[in-house]
Structure 1
Amino acid sequence: MSTPFYVSPQQAMADRAEYARKGIARGRSLVVLQYADGIVFVGENPSRALHKFSEIYDRIGFAAAGKYNEYENLRIGGVRYADLRGYTYDRDDVTARGLANVYAQTLGTIFSSAAEKPYEVELVVAEVGSEAEGDQIYRLPHDGSIVDEHGSVAVGGNAEQISSFLDQRHRDGMTLAEALKLAVQALSREPGGGEREIPAERLEVAVLDRTRPQQRKFKRIVGRQLARLLDTEAAGSTPTDAPSDTEDGDSADSTGTTPDSTEETEK
């Protein structure tokens, strides 16, 4: 009778973590930054139908890197949680911290279960406050831990180098144009130290804008408005409610959140 193959729990968890990290690293990076009037989401995404960023609730946005089918399920679950809690209690009871806790429990359970593979995803949940001090940004890695971020955060792909770049250059009170340009500069950096150009049509940009009069603060920045923000030095004063090329703030989009092909893993 052969002896069963033994793997220590420590080695098994390390292998699962490495597996998840490699899957996440295959995706393109995205960044989330605070600016004077809210929070901006920026990522490279040639698709106009499949989004990396989505609205979850009135003041809450969602960003994810990794395997599409896995984080799309998480996004849908988050929308359902937020809608049910807002309906049962009060809209103000739906918070980014509460949503992050729900995601953390789900990711942690899956990561520690030997019966299924870990999710190859890394999430960002952000909530814009009525003042800058009330903004919240939470990063959730594959293992379900929660990291409370301040100022800026990068996930997916070359996240470590991009985070270092942002930490050195991000400052409080930046205009939207300044924050957007900084994000594009960070995303343009190659792992080897070089830079590449990312055209505006390959960028996906969204904001949670505290100055919007609507209850829903999420809005996509596209087309001519995005070009103006990228090209004009004085564009920091451009309001996010200025006319753009698409309908305003698509509620909990049903389109999902990523990439360049129909493959499950973002390339």
Structure 2
Amino acid sequence: MSTPFYVSPQQAMADRAEYARKGIARGRSVVVLTYADGIVFVAENTSRALHKVSEIYDKIAFAAVGRYNEFENLRIGGVRYADLRGYSYDRADVTARGLANVYAQTLGTIFSSVGDKPYEVELVVAEVGRSDGDDQIYRLTPDGSVVDEKNYVVVGGNADSIGNYLGQRHQAGMALTDALRLAVDALARDANGGTPRTLTPEQLEVAVLDRKRVQQRKFKRILGGQLGRLLGGDASAAEDEEPPAAKEAPAAE
């Protein structure tokens, strides 16, 4: 009779974490950082249909890297949670912290389930406040851990290298044009210190949570010519409204 193969729980969890980490690292990075009037999301993404950054609720947005089908399921679940909670109680009761806790429970359950592979995703949930001191940014790892980030966060790809670059250059109260160009410069850097790439607007997915918007919904995408003008340093382009086709559908699935 053969001896059953035994793997310690610690080793099994370490193997699952390494499996998820390698899957996430193969994806292209997403940068989330604060600026004077809100929070900006910048992802390297050539697709105009498969979004890495999306609206969840009035003041809350979601960014993710990894397997699209897995983080899209989580996004849809987050929208349903937010809609139900806002309808049952009050819209003010829907918070990024509450949503991050829901995602943490879901990811933690999947990660520890015997026989199921862990999700190969890393998430960012952000909420814009009335002032920059009220902004919230949470990063969630595949095992369900939640990290309360300050000022900026990077997920996917060369996250460590990009994070170090941002840490040396990000400043509180930056204008949107400066924050956007900093994020793009960080994404364009080579992890091995080579010549930085040139990223065009067509290769980027950009959105903001803008606290100055008079609308209840603070999320908007920055596309096409408006993105090009902002990258060129035209601060007035930030006041342009996105075209009707770029507006997010009502937050319901």
In the alignment, what sits opposite 1:132?
132
In the alignment, what sits opposite 1:93?
93
In the alignment, what sits opposite 1:39?
39
Conservation of the 8 A alpha-carbon contact between 2:83 and 2:252: no
In the alignment, what sits opposite 1:262?
none
Greater relative contact order (CA < 8 Å, ≥ 6 in sequence): 1
State the Cα distance separating 1:50 from its structure 2 match. Answer: 1.1
| One-letter amino acid of the counterpart of residue 22, structure 1 | K
What's the C-alpha RMSD, in Å, of the aligned pairs? 1.5
Conservation of the 8 A alpha-carbon contact between 2:206 and 2:221: yes
In the alignment, what sits opposite 2:227?
226
Conservation of the 8 A alpha-carbon contact between 2:57 and 2:82: yes
| One-letter amino acid of the counterpart of residue 239, structure 1 | A
In the alignment, what sits opposite 1:249?
247
Conservation of the 8 A alpha-carbon contact between 2:80 and 2:252: no
Secondary structure class of the residue paired with 1:206: strand
Q: What CA distance in whole angstroms lies between the structure 1 residues aligned with 2:75 and 2:243?
A: 25
Q: What CA distance in whole angstroms lies between the structure 2 residues aligned with 1:67 and 1:103?
A: 16
Secondary structure class of the residue paired with 2:108: helix
1:67 aligns with 2:42: no
State the Cα distance separating 1:189 from its structure 2 match. Answer: 0.7
Conservation of the 8 A alpha-carbon contact between 2:208 and 2:221: yes
Could you list the runs of 5+ residues in structure 2 that have no partner in the other structure? none
Secondary structure class of the residue paired with 1:247: helix
Secondary structure class of the residue paired with 1:111: helix
Secondary structure class of the residue paired with 2:245: coil
Q: What CA distance in whole angstroms lies between the structure 1 residues aligned with 2:103 and 2:94?
A: 14
In the alignment, what sits opposite 1:236?
235
C-alpha distance after superposition, 1:10-60 (max 9, x if no partner): 111110000000000010001000000000000111111111100000000
Q: What CA distance in whole angstroms lies between the structure 1 residues aligned with 2:184 and 2:148?
A: 23
In the superposition, the TM-score normalised over structure 2's length comes to 0.96
In the alignment, what sits opposite 1:258?
none
| One-letter amino acid of the counterpart of residue 115, structure 1 | G
CA distance 1:46–1:211, shift in 2 (3 Å) = same
- How many residue pairs were aligned? 252
C-alpha distance after superposition, 1:215-238 (max 9, x if no partner): 000000001110100012xx2343
Conservation of the 8 A alpha-carbon contact between 1:25 and 1:158: yes
Q: What CA distance in whole angstroms lies between the structure 2 residues aligned with 1:87 and 1:116?
A: 33
C-alpha distance after superposition, 1:180-237 (max 9, x if no partner): 00000000011111211111111100000000000000000001110100012xx234
In the alignment, what sits opposite 1:166?
166
CA distance 1:252–1:85, shift in 2 (3 Å) = same
Conservation of the 8 A alpha-carbon contact between 1:55 and 1:252: no
Could you list the runs of 5+ residues in structure 1 that have no partner in the other structure? 256-267
The residue correspondences of 1:1-267 to structure 2 (distance < 5 A) are 1-194=1-194, 195-232=196-233, 235-240=234-239, 242-247=240-245, 249-251=247-249
CA distance 1:77–1:9, shift in 2 (3 Å) = same
Conservation of the 8 A alpha-carbon contact between 2:79 and 2:252: no
Conservation of the 8 A alpha-carbon contact between 2:207 and 2:220: yes
Conservation of the 8 A alpha-carbon contact between 1:61 and 1:126: yes
Q: What CA distance in whole angstroms lies between the structure 2 residues aligned with 1:101 and 1:253?
A: 20
In proportion to residue count, which structure has more helix?
2
Secondary structure class of the residue paired with 1:102: helix
Q: What CA distance in whole angstroms lies between the structure 2 residues aligned with 1:53 and 1:143?
A: 21
Conservation of the 8 A alpha-carbon contact between 2:79 and 2:251: no
In the superposition, the TM-score normalised over structure 1's length comes to 0.91
